[in-house]
Structure 1
C-alpha cells in the first residue's frame, strides 16, 4: 500500500452545498447498521478485557510459577507492546482483504492463545503466550472503527463511534471485577478458559452472520462478496442473481509503514499524540486505584475491584450522551456553512472544516478531564471521604471517554478511505503511552506524592490542548494545501 492510499481523496466538485453523491452512502438499513456496529463493539472488547481481567490474578500466578512481581509486570508490558504493534499489520490487511478475513485471523490466534495460556505452567511460556494473545485480540479495536467508517456518514458518526468504543472503555472497569471473582473461586486458569469460551461463541456467530463492509470489497454493500468475505449463512442459501460482479483485487503483504507515516503527517499526527495522552491519563487513574485505595481506605481485593464501577458508569454515560452532542454540533456547523445535511450521503472532507465541528466539543472535554484529575489527586492526598473520590473518578472517566471518542471520530473522518490503517496508527500511539503511564504512575506517586503526580497528568492534558488548538485553527488549511487546493481564510 502506497502513502497516497492513506491520503484524503481530492474532491471532484466545487459545490459546497452538494454532497458527494445522491446515492446513499450505504445500502444497509438502520437496523442492520445497529447490529453491525454492536457486533464490532463486542469484538473490540476482547483486547482491553484480556489486559485488565488479568490484574487480580498477578499474585496467584506469581506464587504458582515462583516468580517475582517485577517479572509478572513484564507480561503486562509485553502485552501492551504487542497491543500497539499488531494492529499496524491487521489494519493493512483489513483495508486490502476486507474486515472479515482480518477478524477471522485475529480470533483464531486469540482463541488458540487463551487455550494454551490456561494449560501452561511456565513463566517463559506465559510471556510468549501473552504476546500471542495480544496479537490476536488487539486488531479488533482498529477494526471496530473501520467498520463504522464503512457504513456510517459524518452526520451520524458521533453516535455510532461512541457505541463502537463502549467495549474498549468498559472493559478496563469491568475486567478486574470478573478477574477477581474467577481467580478467587476457580483459580487463575479459569480466566483464560473464560476468555476462550466467550471468544469461541462470538467467533461462530461472526462466521455465520457478520457481513463484509470494507468498501474496497463491497462498495456501498451492493457488490456481493466471495470466499472468506462472505458470511457462512449466505453460503447455505440459494445463490441470488446479481448483475454486479465481485471485485478483483490484488492483496500484498500487510505493511505497517502507511500507519507509521501518519505519525508525521499534519494534522493527524497531532491528533494521534493528543489521543495517546488522553488514553494515558485514563490509565493513570485506573492503574493507581489498587495501591492507593488499599493504603487509604483499607479495602480488600474484591472491594478494590468494585471501585472501578464508577469509572465504567461514567464511560458508559459519556459514550451515549456525547455522541448525540457531537452529531448535533456537526449539523449546526453544516447549517452555518450552507451545506445540505443528509445523513445518507457523505460530504467531502476537503470542503468542510471537520476539525472545528469535532473539537468544539472535544477540547472542553479535555480541559474538564484535566481539572477532574487534578481534583482527584488532591482528594486522595488530603484524605477526602471515599464517596467524593469515587465521584471524581466518575467525572474524570466521563470527560476522558468523551474526548477520546471524539478524537477517534475525527481521525476516521480524515482517513475514511483507509480507516483500519488510521486506527492502527492510533492504537500504536495510545498503547505505548498507556503502557508507559501504567508503569510510571505508582513509582511517581512514591517519589513526588499523589497530588503532584495527578497534577502532572492534568498538566499533560492542558499541554496537548494547546497543540490541538493548532489543529482547530489550521487543520483544514493543512489538508487543502496537501491536496493542492487553495487554502481558506478561516
Structure 2
C-alpha cells in the first residue's frame, strides 16, 4: 500500500498550491468586472433536521409549492427559500456531462477497438488466438479493479484531481502500446491502460449524482451510461478502419491524441462538483486544482459562486479520507448485490457477443478488417438508441409513479387535516401547506419495473443471433439482431446503475465502482469461456444458454423490486 500512500501525499501536496499559474491571469483580468456584477446569493436557511438525502428536501420544496425553482440570480441575501440542490443547470450541466461522457467513452472503447486487428497481432506477436483473447480478459479484470482505488481518491480529494491522474496514466499506457513489440509488455500495458481509464465511468457517475436529483437523474444518467458504453459498439468500427488504412499501431496513436484532447477539456471546462468541496456549487474551491478556467470566465457561474468565503455553506458535506474498501460496504448489501449480479450478466452477454462477433464474421463470412468494423454499426446504434430511450423511459415512469404516490399521500393528509381541524369536508383544506415525504417513495419499483422487457429483448436477440450464425444465414440477419442485444443490455445496466446512485447519492463514485467491479469481473470470466462454449455447444447452443441465464437472473431483480424498500428502510433505521 506504499504506492497508495505516495499517491495520496502527492495529491495533498498539490492541493497546497494557492494558484493555478495558467488561470491566475484570468482572475486578474476579471477582478474589475466582478466588482461591477451585483453579487446575489441563494438563501442559506433551510431545515437540516431531516437525516435523509438532502436532494429530497429540494424535491419536497418543489412539490409543495408546485412551482419552478426561483431564479438563483434573483434571490436576495435575506431570502429564507431553501437553496437549490445544485447551481449547475442548463448549459453548465451540458458542459459537465459532455466532458464526463468524453472521458468515460475511452473506458469502453479501448477494449474492443483492436478486435479487428487481433488476427494481425497473433502473427506479429507469434502467439495463439487464445493468448490474444487473454488481453481482452485482463483488460476487463483491471477495468473492474482500477475504480476501487481511483473512486476512493475521488471521494476524498474531489473529482478533478482524479480525472487528471486517470487520463495521464492512460495516455502513457497508450504511448507504450503504440511502440510495443513484445506480447508480455503488451499484456502489462493493457492492464495499466485499463486501470487508468476505467475509473472515468465511476467519476462521471459521481458528477451526475452531484448535480442531479431523482426527478431528472434518469435521463441524464441514461445519456451518460450510453456514451460511456458506446465504445463497445463502435470501437471495432474505428479499429477496423484504422487497421486497414494505417496499420494496427495507429489504433493506439489515435487513442493518445483523442484522450489528450479530452484531458485538455477536463482542465478547461470541468468544474469541481464534489459536495464536500463546493457544496451545491456556490462555494468557491479552496485549492487551485479544483478550479476550472471556465468558472472564471462564465458570467453565470461568476455571479453564483462566492469568492469571499460565502455561499450555501449548509450544503457543504463533511470531507472524508479515502476508503479503498468502502465499495465492499455497499456491495455487501443484498439489494445491491442482487441487482448488480443480474445487470452484470446482461452486460457480459452483450460483451460475449461483441467479442465473438469479430471472429465469426471473419470465419463464417470471410470479412476483412474494415468489413468486420462495419459489421459493428448495428451494435453501436443499439447502444446509442438504448442510452437515450432508457433515460427518457426512466424519467417518464419516475414522474408517473411519483405523481401517483403524491396523490395517495395528499388524500391521506387531507383526511387527517379534516379530523385535526374539525372541518366539514376536504375542499376546505389548503393544499399549499402539504409537504411530500419522498423518503418513503418506492424508488426500486420506479427503476426496476422496466428491466423485465429489456431482458426479454436481449434474450430473444442473442438467441436468434446465435442460430443465424450457426446456420450461416445471410449476414444482415445476425447483424440486425445485435442491435436488440446492445439495446437491451445498455438499458438494463442504465436502470440498475441509476438505482444505485439514487440509493447512495452521497457515494455515487463508490456505488459506480461496485457496478464496474462486478460487471467487469463477470464479463472477464464469461469472455474467457466463450470460445470453448462455442466449440462445445456451437453458436446457437452457446448463445441460447446465455439468453436463458439472463432471463433466469431476473429472479434477482424481482426480489429487489419486492424487498428492496424494506432493506433500505432497515439500513436507514440503523444509521438514525
Deviation at 1:230, TM superposition (A): 1.1
What residue is the counterpart of 1:480 in the other structure? Answer: 569
Partners of 1:77 and 1:51 in 2: CA distance:
9
What residue is the counterpart of 1:381 in the other structure? Answer: 470
What residue is the counterpart of 1:329 in the other structure? Answer: 397
Deviation at 1:185, TM superposition (A): 2.4
Matched, 1:255 2:323: yes
What residue is the counterpart of 2:161 in the other structure? Answer: 101
Deviation at 1:227, TM superposition (A): 2.4
What residue is the counterpart of 2:291 in the other structure? Answer: 230
Larger radius of gyration: 2
Partners of 1:116 and 1:134 in 2: CA distance:
13
Deviation readout 1:389-447 (Å, 9 max, x if unpaired): 22211122222211111111111111111100010011001111111222222220110
Q: 1:242 and 1:437, CA in 2 relative to 1: closer, same or farther beyond 3 A?
A: same
Deviation at 1:349, TM superposition (A): 6.5
What residue is the counterpart of 1:75 in the other structure? Answer: 135
CA contact (8 A) 2:330 2:511 kept: yes
Q: Work out the number of aligned pairs and report it.
A: 474
Matched, 1:436 2:525: yes
Q: How does 1:404-483 map to 2 (within 5 A)?
A: 404-483=493-572
What residue is the counterpart of 2:40 in the other structure? Answer: none
Partner of residue 176 from structure 1, selected from 216, 236, 239: 236
Deviation readout 1:334-384 (Å, 9 max, x if unpaired): 11111799xxxx987742110000111122211222222222223333333
What residue is the counterpart of 2:310 in the other structure? Answer: 244
Deviation at 1:236, TM superposition (A): 8.7
Partners of 1:165 and 1:13 in 2: CA distance:
21
Q: Secondary structure at the match of 2:506?
A: coil
Matched, 1:274 2:327: no
Q: 1:441 and 1:10, CA in 2 relative to 1: closer, same or farther beyond 3 A?
A: same
Q: 5+ unaligned residues in a row in structure 1: which ranges?
A: 1-7, 486-490
Matched, 1:31 2:99: no
Q: Secondary structure at the match of 1:417?
A: helix
Q: How does 1:189-208 map to 2 (within 5 A)?
A: 189-208=249-268
Partners of 2:393 and 2:452 in 1: CA distance:
13
Partner of residue 299 from structure 1, selected from 351, 367, 375: 367
Deviation readout 1:189-236 (Å, 9 max, x if unpaired): 211111111111111121122101111211111111122111145579
What residue is the counterpart of 1:3 in the other structure? Answer: none
Partners of 2:57 and 2:178 in 1: CA distance:
59
Q: 1:320 and 1:334, CA in 2 relative to 1: closer, same or farther beyond 3 A?
A: same
Partners of 1:79 and 1:13 in 2: CA distance:
36
CA contact (8 A) 1:350 1:476 kept: no
Partners of 2:288 and 2:55 in 1: CA distance:
36
Q: 1:86 and 1:61, CA in 2 relative to 1: closer, same or farther beyond 3 A?
A: same
Q: 5+ unaligned residues in a row in structure 2: which ranges?
A: 1-49, 63-80, 411-434
Deviation at 1:244, TM superposition (A): 1.9
CA RMSD of aligned residues (A): 2.9
Segment drifting more, 148-157 vs 158-167? 158-167
